[in-house]
Structure 1
Amino acid sequence: MNKIIEITDFLAPELDLYARLTEVQLLNRELPEKGLFIAESPKVIERALDAGYQPVSCLMEKRHIEGEGRRILERIKDVPVFCAEFDVLTQLTGFKLTRGMLCAMKRKPLSGVREICENKRRIVILDKVMNPTNVGAIIRSAAALGMDAVILTPGCSDPLYRR
């Protein structure tokens, strides 16, 4: 069963992940597998769960508990779920949650180049692509074109960057 917590105190430390920590603070560059990222929208959260990412907590509009987020909540039963009305969440995060759902997730260890390239025929390599919007667009285009893998060099923007 989900632990649903209605938000009443904006200063609660559990909400730091969503309201006060920066991308740099969430990302652990020395040990990426110790870092976190924020998945935004039910679709992105479901894809991350399908890919094996482990949720830490969820933040959502109250209406999603019985609505769009219900299927996700069934998959993350042991994870705390913070909820509030739309206007309360807007005050907390400082922006409109247009998709009404965020999920803090643990990063997975990075795969090595050899492992990524094994048995792949068409690979996209990004080098020093710093704009997260461009990284996302290229990855989506690669998926649409049926590419087998995408490799980002260390000079690229974080593909899990929350924008």
Structure 2
Amino acid sequence: MGIERIETADDARLADYRDLTDVALRRVLEPAGGLYIAESAKVIARAVAAGHRPRSVLVQEKWLPDVAALALAPDTPVYVVAADVTEQLTGYAVHRGALAAMHRPELPSVAEVLEDARLVVVLEDIIDHTNVGAIFRAAAGLGADAVLVSARCADPLYRRSVRVSMGTVFQVPWTRLPAWGEARSILHREGFHLAALALSDEAVPLDAFRAAGHERVALMLGAEGDGLSRAALAAADSVVTIPMAGGVDSLNVAAASAVALWELRGS
């Protein structure tokens, strides 16, 4: 890695980190693929281990040894700046030591992601990045083989999603899913039973669904409040619910994903 110490926030080398939204990083700087921001040495290390390539790293002096321990290519620039410069650039206090501008990898096809999968999670239009990150962490920790996200779902590589997931967005295979008409055909062709987690009078309790012993399951999750769309529910083969107590009708979507994945693991 090449260490470069920078004194001011207006230095042209810091453009990737300066007041840019994640949409801008994807669409303006790198039209062929785009960038995303990874935060903390641990997350950067997981991204690098997954084969993602950093364009540069931004770090404060006291955290430089953590960055030096990463397996970075020799030509990767490491910009060392003061804490106030980092805050000027990003608009917030960076407490985790390092940021990296990472090149976005090309997403695999849905068929590639599903090839060896048995249990996959499907996220429809979940726009909260914290929930997306938490669901990826649950998927990694509880044995889901892949995650499929709708076109309008929040970006799993958004900085907050990556952080909340503890970098597990780099270890769980994922890709974008087409509209339900095509998506249902793809999933059925691969032998998946589509299970929509939703409130419905006709819903099957989660434990009863597990007992049915479906060989390959696509667990469908919708946004907070609105839940799954009508198109998603129409595409589903089963509607499944988590039995609740205490007058509570449902869980946060990330919590619900963890409960459902725990129940369906190894089924």
Q: Normalised by the size of structure 2, how large is the TM-score? A: 0.56
Structure 1 counterpart of 2:34:
35
Task: Extract structure 1 runs of 4+ deviating beyond 3 A.
Answer: none
Cα distance between partner residues in 1 of 2:66 and 2:7: 23
Counterpart position of 2:257: none
Which of 40, 60, 73 in structure 2 is aligned with 1:76?
73
* Unmatched runs of 5 consecutive residues or more in structure 1: none
Find the residue that maps to 1:104 and give its secondary structure: strand
Mapped to 2, the partners of 1:93 and 1:151 lie a distance apart of 30
Matched to 1:20, the amino acid is D
Q: Distance in 2 between matches of 1:106 and 1:160?
A: 11
1:108-133 Cα distance to aligned partner (Å, 9 max, x none)? 11111111000111111111111111
Aligned residue number for residue 148 of structure 1: 145
Q: 1:95 aligns with which of 87, 92, 96?
A: 92
Is residue 18 of structure 2 the alignment partner of residue 15 of structure 1? Answer: no
Provide the TM-score with structure 1 as the length reference.
Answer: 0.90
Aligned partners of 2:85, 2:34: CA distance in 1, in Å?
27
| Matches of 1:118 and 1:125, distance apart in 2 | 15
Displacement of 1:86: 2.5
In the TM superposition, what is the alpha-carbon distance from 1:58 to its structure 2 partner?
0.5
Taking only aligned residues, the RMSD between alpha carbons, in angstroms, comes to: 1.8
Displacement after TM superposition at 1:25 (Å):
0.5
Q: 1:161 deviation in Å?
A: 0.7
CA-to-aligned-CA distance 1:46-104 (integer Å, 9 cap, x gap): 11001111110000011222x222211x5232111111233332333221111110010
Letter in 1 for 2:158: Y
Which residue of structure 1 aligns with residue 23 of structure 2? 24
Structure 1 SS opposite 2:66: coil
Q: Structure 1 CA distance, aligned partners of 2:36 and 2:17?
A: 10
Change (3 A) 1:154 1:108: same
Identity %: 43
1: distance between equivalents of 2:94 and 2:48? 20
What does 1:106-145 correspond to in 2, within 5 Å? Answer: 106-145=103-142
- C-alpha change, 1:131 and 1:20, in structure 2 (3 Å) is same
The letter of the residue matching 1:79 is T
CA shift for structure 1 position 17: 1.1
1:39-78 to 2 correspondence within 5 Å?
Answer: 39-65=38-64, 67-72=65-70, 74-78=71-75
